Structure 1
Amino acid sequence: MTTTRATAQDEPGLSAAIRCRDRLRALAPGLAACAVAVALAFGIHALLPSLPAMTLAVVLGIAGANVPGTAAWVGGAWQPGLRFAGKHLMRAGIVLLGLKLSLGDIAALGWQALGLIVAVVLLAFAGTYALGKLFKLPGDAPLLIATGFSICGASAIGAMAAVRGTKHQDTVLPVALVTLCGTLAIGTLPLLMHPLGLDTVTFGRWVGASVHDVGQVVAAAQTAGTVALGAAVVIKLTRVVLLAPIVASAGLWQRFQRIRGSGGPGTFPPIVPVFVVGFLAMIVLRTLGWAPPPVLDLGGLAQEIALGAALFGLGSAVRVRELLHAGPRSLVMALCAWALIAALGLGAAWMMA
């Protein structure tokens, strides 16, 4: 009797262990593919620094999903791990992104610069959202694209998708568009520096105020030297801080709309997702100086690996044939939004001088 009772009591634990083992086995092939892709992206970036590793990760994901030799794996054995990376590793990357931000560096910009950056983000967000509605993009696409373009690319899209409860597949087009336009900025903005008569600091501020992803900002700004790079990174990270209030505002608005529509409180996604709270906690940790340099270095590396794996996973959901069929209107809208934020960022950069 004692043995039988002990075995019965152990069954829930054994069942959980078996489920965990089976889950890990299902995730392993896709996560291994992510690891290989991230290593390859970093390797290419080391050889060609002008190509951001995060952009390369998306491109590799798109290639893997559309090349006949690997498309079957992406749609088959790799899929659970790729979906896990696109959702959960994206959130881990957002949390660790907070370790790159210090409120002291941001405060050193001064109130005028801070006001201009906030204005650029809000105007870019509102303008891009309006363009998305004007071009009749479906579902949450206008909101996701506006968030990605105005704040910090794919990371912001992932955070907004979480608070909106957007399906994974509906984030694919916004991520593809923000990656495409950010890559376009890397090649275009440096060519315009001298025709526009910009000095290195003003150019760096322009890049930081108008390019989408942190890696893309670094790739574009470093073409003008370390002074431009420093100015660009501080401006860009100030935009990233606005991720939390923008996401929280969207969460509150969604809750208000649902309550008004249903007449009751109902069940909603959290106003601020847990991983965004973690992002804010990492900012505080960095600001207070509680994280020593080795921890910051390790956190930065982990953030890039997690985000690279997530972007490879998201890229692997892009089917070029479907994108070409459904994407021309979206592409024109994204290019209009890219021109808008570039103009807003340039105006802010000139006013900061």
Structure 2
Amino acid sequence: MTETSPSARALASRPTQSIWPGLLLAAMIAGLAFVLRFVPGLGMLSPLILAILLGMTLRNTLGTPEAAQAGIAISMRLVLRAGIILMGLQLTLGQVAQVGWLGVAVIALSLVLTFGFTIWLGRVLRVDAKLTQLIAAGTSICGASAVIATNTVTRGRDEDVAYAVACVTIFGSLAMILLPLTESWFALGPRGFGLWAGASIHEVAQVVAAAFQRGDEAGQFGTIAKLTRVMMLAPMILCLGVFAARRRGGQSGGGKAPIPWFVFGFIAMVGVASTGWVPEAVLDPATGVTQFLLAMALAAMGLETDLRKLAAAGLRPALLGAGAWVFIMGISLGLIVLTGAAG
């Protein structure tokens, strides 16, 4: 049986409850997350990560207001899907062309191998299957955004989402620090280093922070490589949706596939952005709106996360996140060197 979060149950049991208190609370937390990015030492964390941390802090200190439950449920579903659809405007097929077919092959193969390795390692470590998939998606694709998008089809607990986000935050931050320190060992060159950063580091903000330490060329190429990796979120979510439906159908003797329609919206937005018809005056604000909507969704998940349940998961998921991180760093570097994509 699929687990349902407290906010979803509250929304179902009280269809007339106003959604505005919860939406306003999630929006306020998201806004505070953007402000906190200007605090020294917090700039390395994306608003998405700060939003879930703030939501968790409120949930586990003062508690989540009962009147906010309906709006929280909307934030975790409709607001999240709207953010993912708009994220497509940040990507174009022209950016993929700049990476080159070898670069795209390195990114895609690193993603698939890392996802498969993480699933295997999760079974070895006996980590819950849904939590394993969230860690696998966050590590192999694009950090917190991939975690919350993947959860729309895996339907894990809010605590699973929080744990997976914590893993990509910790290990992505370590990668952001360590990659520039170790790059000289491999003599990759600016484009090679940018590709390595874009293919292996978890969050877009972390990639930008790491890649630009090697210069503008590395920074720009790393950002494009990372956005190319983000584009692979859509086919991954579709595949996971089919897999999840088959598994549920096999267990219950039936069941329809949970078609993630928002993914098609994401693909459509990529197509629109690729035409070049959308003016910069629209694209720039759209990027900010996208980040704000995703931050609202993560704030809502934080408001539903009980730290006691999070602690009950133990250290095995953390070991899984560490193993997945080491693997993607190593496999992407190996593929870059072997294929000559660094040239």
Q: What TM-score range do you get, normalising by the shorter chain?
A: 0.7 to 0.9
d(CA) in 2 for partners of 1:325, 1:256: 29
Change (3 A) 1:93 1:216: farther
Deviation of 1:97 after TM superposition, in Å, equals 0.9
Secondary structure, in 3 states, of the residue corresponding to 2:38?
helix
- 1:291 corresponds to: 278
Equivalent residues of 2:130, 2:155 under 8 A apart: no
The reply to whether residue 121 of structure 1 matches residue 121 of structure 2 is no
Deviation of 1:142 after TM superposition, in Å, equals 1.5
1:170-198 superposed Cα distances (whole Å, 9 cap, x missing partner):
43322332233223323333333345545
Query: Is the radius of gyration larger for structure 1 or structure 2?
Result: 1
d(CA) in 2 for partners of 1:198, 1:113: 13
Equivalent residues of 1:207, 1:232 under 8 A apart: yes
Moved more, 85-94 or 192-201: 192-201
Moved more, 290-299 or 180-189: 180-189
- 1:346 corresponds to: 333
Selected match of 1:173 from 153, 163, 166: 163
- 1:45 corresponds to: 37
Change (3 A) 1:221 1:77: farther
Alignment TM-score, normalising by the size of structure 2: 0.85
Unaligned stretches of 5+ in structure 2? 1-13
The reply to whether residue 59 of structure 1 matches residue 30 of structure 2 is no
d(CA) in 2 for partners of 1:302, 1:152: 18
Change (3 A) 1:240 1:315: same
1:344 partner letter: I
Change (3 A) 1:223 1:36: farther
d(CA) in 2 for partners of 1:352, 1:268: 38
Unaligned stretches of 5+ in structure 1? 1-18
1:64-106 superposed Cα distances (whole Å, 9 cap, x missing partner):
223x3xx32x253444333332333222111111001100110
Moved more, 280-289 or 36-45: 36-45
The reply to whether residue 202 of structure 1 matches residue 202 of structure 2 is no
d(CA) in 1 for partners of 2:246, 2:59: 39
Question: RMSD over aligned Cα, in angstroms?
Answer: 2.5
Equivalent residues of 1:203, 1:349 under 8 A apart: no
Alignment of 1:179-258 (within 5 A): 179-258=169-248
- 1:313 corresponds to: 300
Deviation of 1:230 after TM superposition, in Å, equals 0.9
1:41-63 superposed Cα distances (whole Å, 9 cap, x missing partner):
22232344433322222222232
- 1:29 corresponds to: 21
Selected match of 1:111 from 101, 108, 111: 101
- 2:150 corresponds to: 160
Equivalent residues of 1:148, 1:156 under 8 A apart: yes
d(CA) in 2 for partners of 1:158, 1:124: 18
Moved more, 301-310 or 180-189: 180-189
d(CA) in 1 for partners of 2:202, 2:314: 20
Equivalent residues of 1:176, 1:315 under 8 A apart: no
Deviation of 1:330 after TM superposition, in Å, equals 0.9
The reply to whether residue 130 of structure 1 matches residue 124 of structure 2 is no
Deviation of 1:302 after TM superposition, in Å, equals 0.6
Deviation of 1:231 after TM superposition, in Å, equals 1.1
Change (3 A) 1:217 1:62: farther
- 2:317 corresponds to: 330
Equivalent residues of 1:90, 1:155 under 8 A apart: no
Selected match of 1:85 from 72, 75, 79: 75
1:1-52 superposed Cα distances (whole Å, 9 cap, x missing partner):
xxxxxxxxxxxxxxxxxx98x543xx33333232232222222323444333
d(CA) in 2 for partners of 1:32, 1:183: 30
Deviation of 1:120 after TM superposition, in Å, equals 0.5
1:145 partner letter: I
